[in-house]
Amino acid sequence: MSPAAPVNLTTPGGLLLVLAVLLPFAGVLLGLVLGGRHAQRVAWLTILLGIGVVLAITRASLGSGASLVYLLGGWAPPLGVALRADGLAVCMMLVVAVVVGAVGVYANGDFGTPAGQRETRAALAFWLLLLAVWGSLNLVFVSGDIFTLYVALELLTFAGVPLVALDGRAETLQAALRYLVYALLGSMFYLLGTFLLYGAYGTLDIALLAERVGAQPVTWMAAALMTAGLLAKTALFPLHLWLPPAHAGAPAAASALLSALVIKGAWFLVVRLWVDVFPGIVSLPAAQLLAALGASAIIVGNIVALRQARLKLLIAYSTVAQIGYLFLMFPLVQALNATQQGNAAAVTGGLLQAISHATAKAAMFMAAGLIYSTLGHDRVADLRGAGRALPMTITAFALAGASLIGLPPSGGFLAKWLLLSAAIATAQWWWVLVMLVGGLLTSAYVFMVVVRAMAPAAPGWSPKKQVPGYQQAAVLGLALCSFLLGLAALLPFDVAQIGRAVVPLVGSP
Amino acid sequence: MNAPTLFGLCAAVLVGFGLYGLIVHPQPLRKVLSFNLMGSGVFLVCAVIARRGAAAGMGGDPVPQALLITAIVVAFAASALAVALMLRQFDETGSSSLSNDPGPAPAKPAAKGEA
Amino acid sequence: MSIALHLALIALLLALAFWTVVARETFAAVAGFVSYGLLLTLAWVALSAVDVALTEAAIGAGLTGALLIGATSRLRKTEAAARAERPGRATRVLAAIVATAVAAAIAACVLLLPDPGPSLAPEVAQNLASTGVGNPITAVLMSFRAMDTMLEAIVLLFGLIGIWSLASDRYWGGRPGLAPVVEPNGILAYLARVLPPIGLVVGIYILWVGADYPGGKFQGGTVLAAMWLLLLMSGLHDAPAVSQRWVRLALVAGPAVFILVGVLGVFVAGAFLGYPEGLAKPLIIVIEVALLPSLAVTLTLLLMGPPQRSESSP
């Protein structure tokens, strides 16, 4: 770090980071005690306050143009634990707040507890887990300590696994158990890497580690273990097998949280480690390997998605493919680092991909939920009538699909544009090819779903259930966020790069 | 070779055993058991690191020791969640398996093994 | 302990671990694991980690053992079906190669770690006085890295919410575990009458000495949980319904007090989870005393599983 960056002092606004983590957790505690209808009210109060906190963090961060830092208990690392929020963390917190808000609106329909009714299992669990996921993710984004990050990952796992089995069917129990086994194996690898780093460098603090790590076998082993563990949790090919049944079997609002947000936690940590802690340790071939797995995910995930008979499974396999894009950034970052041009384009591209996928995928899963309620099934071959019954929802599905494909002006377009330019600038044309093929395959299944949904309904057909307008509006709102995200390129400032100007390479002065 | 190093090598083997069990055992319960075994190996690595940091009159570096206490408690919660999931799956389906095909129903031949 | 004793301990540990992996019957494997867990506490002691040894004995071997034994007896019917699923030779060989490679890499790392290892012990020693506690591990857990400990209490609670969420809808709000069967003259009932008062004292004692000597809330909480479990298993006491307000209050009280004391720190010590000069030890004890019952209730209910009978069930 440059001496100008005071990484170990609490900055103004630092306390907001504590609030971003603590508020949702306090909401879980209060919601559990009050129970019943009150859990939903507590969740809503927390969501509103939490969005306020995230906006305040954004304002403080833009105002100072530097990372926010908070020293817990006043103890500076390496003894204490610091919370830090750079531009990446702020952007992720913003998108999570938006998605949580939209999922909350949608879930009022599926998990509302009418007045006078007794507490129900699924409703209580959903509202508590929603807050649990939110607080855990905020902790993943702001924690500056690799062991606190381990605890954050576990919190996220414990919040995510029950969401899978929320409707209690036997096959979802199995999917949840399989997810848990992968996640636990991943945690153990991550934890072992953490311990090895402490054993070699005597600190768990990310900023201090970035200064201290040297190119030696223990560091490589720790990096490999932590990365492997995190890949299992992110479900990068070939560790993706747990994901489709888990994400497709959950109730729509839970699927949206899992597919849009939960997997991003572990991915974000890979970015933190590779870009901020180990930039001089990991080699270009290792990054190429990561991206090669990503490329395989894009091809395999998209092809399998095309062959799915059920809409929710199709969307889940599309997540497998989209996770692949998230890993294309690593060799680009490495190659850009080597050229001394700065890695901003590749990092921002990866971040935008995460954000546009989060908003688009949440919208798609909730759209699928509405289609299911309306038609009584989600067979892809038999979607006719859906367009007539749910025009807003099918529009939302198409817009979200456009973002996944990467059509302008969507967030997906801007993300892929940045990644493509970085690939060309660093002469790695093969990633360009993968992205183009992936886009074509994605457009095939998005198109297939939309065309079938637009077909006129059978005569005499009527919707199984009328879905509330606010649910449709929440879905459309999210899809529009994703579709219009590309306009962020017109913003006068680059939020993502706040506090990231100096990325020290090991050995550089 | 001193004691911490010996225990460190032992820990490496324990992680290997646990990992092997985790991969080959089809039963979720055996997987959880192997996960705990692997976990104990990881924890032992940490205790070795703590021991090597003995200084200032303390028998070991208290920071990794404190981390260990946290990690042990977290691992217990994970096992409890996994066990609850498999027992619920058993209640619903009469089987406990992670493979997709339902497999042979636990009919009469299964009862023989428990006698 | 001499090197010879260490070697013997390591050989035993490895043998039991090997048994746990290869044993045919799950019950035999679990039995091996429980003995392994108890032996492992000796390893912690040999590595001068007495606090960890206590935690491992209480939670790693004790509670996890109880959990796995309970699950094994419930799942016994699935054993034969699972054996038919056993993977082929190729998978086993591949698994062995992967496991050996990982183990070898870890072993290499252990040998390559710097000697003497880096340590924060001097810094802990330097700042120990300001925390008011004498046990450096308690200082780390409750002051320097108090955030982790707070989150850990929340992790346990999330685990429990997750387990409860698996209940079948008709039993929501009901009681976990099977209906108790009382055998008033059984040995279990006898123990359940005699032990809990002693256990209560021991649990509180472990918490109390934890400030200055090995011990603390997790270990003490486990002892209390064990006593309650004994009462539940003997049938002298029935598990509470999950809808009970007092149960929920007991679960969240500890984490809530932790958070409140943390917030208090913002105003009186200038930092979240900071303690004002001279008040550190009393505040730490307030948190630990509040956490003790919450941890005991949480750990017990984690073991009991989701509600599976109605509240009015006897």
Residues 287-326 of A with CB under 8 A from C: none
Residues 221-260 of C with CB under 8 A from B: none
| Probe site for chain A from B81, B95, B96, B97 (most A CB atoms < 10 A) | B81
pLDDT tens digit string along C98-149? 999 999 999 999 999 988 889 999 999 999 988 888 899 999 999 999 999 9
For B81, which of C18, C137, C162 is closest by C-beta distance? C162
Asked if A220 has any chain C CB less than 8 Å from its own CB, the reply is: no
Q: What is the DSSP string of A133-190?
A: HHHHHHHHHHB-BHHHHHHHHHHHHHHHHHHHTTT--HHHHHHHHHHHHHHHHHHHHH
Q: Which amino acid is at B7?
A: F
Whether residue C266 and residue A80 make contact (CB cut-off 8 A), yes or no, is: no
Asked if A150 has any chain B CB less than 8 Å from its own CB, the reply is: yes
| Probe site for chain B from C78, C123, C140, C251 (most B CB atoms < 10 A) | C78
| Probe site for chain C from A15, A28, A32 (most C CB atoms < 10 A) | A32
Residue with tokens 């043998």: C15
What stretch of H or E contains A204?
none
Q: Where does residue A444 rank: exposed (0-12), middle (13-18), buried (19+ CB within 10 A)?
A: middle
**How big is the CA angle at A221 (ends A218 and A222), to the nearest 5 degrees?**
85
Whether residue C99 and residue B33 make contact (CB cut-off 8 A), yes or no, is: no
Whether residue B45 and residue A192 make contact (CB cut-off 8 A), yes or no, is: yes
Q: What is the largest CA-CA distance in chain C?
A: 64
In chain C, pLDDT over 90 holds for what percent of residues? Answer: 51
Asked if C117 has any chain A CB less than 8 Å from its own CB, the reply is: yes
Tokens of residue A274, six digits: 């590779």
Whether residue A185 and residue B22 make contact (CB cut-off 8 A), yes or no, is: yes
Residue with tokens 């691992």: B75
What stretch of H or E contains B15?
helix B3-24
Domains of chain B with bracketed CATH: 3-92 (1.10.287.3510)
For B67, which of A147, A154, A192 is closest by C-beta distance? A147
Asked if C136 has any chain A CB less than 8 Å from its own CB, the reply is: no
**Cα(B46)–Cα(C6) distance, integer angstroms:** 18
Kindly report which listed range (A220-234, A425-439, A442-456, B84-98) carries the lowest average pLDDT score: B84-98
C34 closest CA partner among C9, C54, C59: C59
| Probe site for chain C from B32, B73, B81, B86 (most C CB atoms < 10 A) | B73
Asked if C103 has any chain B CB less than 8 Å from its own CB, the reply is: yes
Tokens of residue A279, six digits: 């930039």
Query: Is there a contact between A467 and A390 (Cβ–Cβ < 8 Å)?
Result: yes
Please state whether the peptide bond connecting residue C116 to the residue before it is cis, i.e. omega within 30 degrees of 0: yes
pLDDT score at A509: 31
Chain B residue closest in CA terms to A178: B98
pLDDT score at A459: 84
**Cα(C246)–Cα(C240) distance, integer angstroms:** 9
Q: Is the ipTM of this complex over 0.85?
A: yes
Chain B residue closest in CA terms to A158: B78
Confidence of residue A500 (pLDDT cuts 50, 70, 90): confident
A165 closest CA partner among C48, C164, C209: C164
Residue with tokens 């887990």: A129
Query: Is there a contact between C287 and C142 (Cβ–Cβ < 8 Å)?
Result: yes
pLDDT tens digit string along C190-227? 888 888 888 888 888 888 888 787 778 888 888 888 88
Q: Which amino acid is at A380?
A: V
Whether residue B92 and residue A170 make contact (CB cut-off 8 A), yes or no, is: yes
Q: How far A504 CA lies from chain C's nearest CA (Å)?
A: 23
Tokens of residue C275, six digits: 């303690």
Whether residue C161 and residue A71 make contact (CB cut-off 8 A), yes or no, is: no
Query: Is there a contact between A269 and A186 (Cβ–Cβ < 8 Å)?
Result: no
Tokens of residue A280, six digits: 């001089």
Query: How crowded is residue B54: how many other Cβ atoms within 10 Å of its Cβ?
Result: 18
**Cα(C1)–Cα(A464) distance, integer angstroms:** 74
Whether residue B85 and residue A154 make contact (CB cut-off 8 A), yes or no, is: no
Query: Is there a contact between A454 and A394 (Cβ–Cβ < 8 Å)?
Result: yes
Query: Is there a contact between A235 and A264 (Cβ–Cβ < 8 Å)?
Result: no
Residue A60 clears pLDDT 90, i.e. is over it = yes
For C85, which of B23, B77, B99 is closest by C-beta distance? B99
A149 closest CA partner among A260, A273, A242, A324: A273
Q: How far A174 CA lies from chain B's nearest CA (Å)?
A: 6
pLDDT tens digit string along C228-239? 888 888 878 888
Residue A149 clears pLDDT 70, i.e. is over it = yes
Task: Supply the mean pLDDT for chain C.
Answer: 89
Tokens of residue C29, six digits: 């494997």
In chain A, pLDDT over 90 holds for what percent of residues? Answer: 73
Q: Is the pTM of this model over 0.90?
A: yes
Query: Is there a contact between C305 and B84 (Cβ–Cβ < 8 Å)?
Result: yes
pLDDT score at A493: 67
Q: How far B45 CA lies from chain C's nearest CA (Å)?
A: 8
Q: Using the 8-state DSSP alphabet, how is residue C307 labeled?
A: E
pLDDT tens digit string along A203-218? 999 999 999 998 899 9
Residues of chain B contacting residue A155, judged by C-beta atoms under 8 Å apart: none
Q: Using the 8-state DSSP alphabet, how is residue A391 labeled?
A: H
Please state whether the peptide bond connecting residue A509 to the residue before it is cis, i.e. omega within 30 degrees of 0: no
Chain C residue closest in CA terms to A212: C118
Query: Is there a contact between A119 and C172 (Cβ–Cβ < 8 Å)?
Result: yes
**Cα(A146)–Cα(A202) distance, integer angstroms:** 12
Crossing angle for the helix pair A311-326 and A411-425, nearest 10 degrees? Answer: 40
Query: Is there a contact between A225 and A342 (Cβ–Cβ < 8 Å)?
Result: no
Residues 124-143 of C with CB under 8 A from B: 124-125, 136-137, 139-141
A371 closest CA partner among A475, A445, A257: A475
**Cα(B10)–Cα(C42) distance, integer angstroms:** 14
Q: What is the DSSP string of B40-109?
A: HHHHHHHHHHHHHT--TT-SS-HHHHHHHHHHHHHHHHHHHHHHHHHHHHHHHHS----SSS--S---HH
pLDDT tens digit string along A366-406? 999 999 999 999 999 989 888 889 999 999 999 999 999 99
Whether residue C165 and residue A122 make contact (CB cut-off 8 A), yes or no, is: yes
Q: Using the 8-state DSSP alphabet, how is residue A76 labeled?
A: P
Query: Is there a contact between A376 and A446 (Cβ–Cβ < 8 Å)?
Result: no
Whether residue C151 and residue A18 make contact (CB cut-off 8 A), yes or no, is: no
Asked if A241 has any chain C CB less than 8 Å from its own CB, the reply is: no
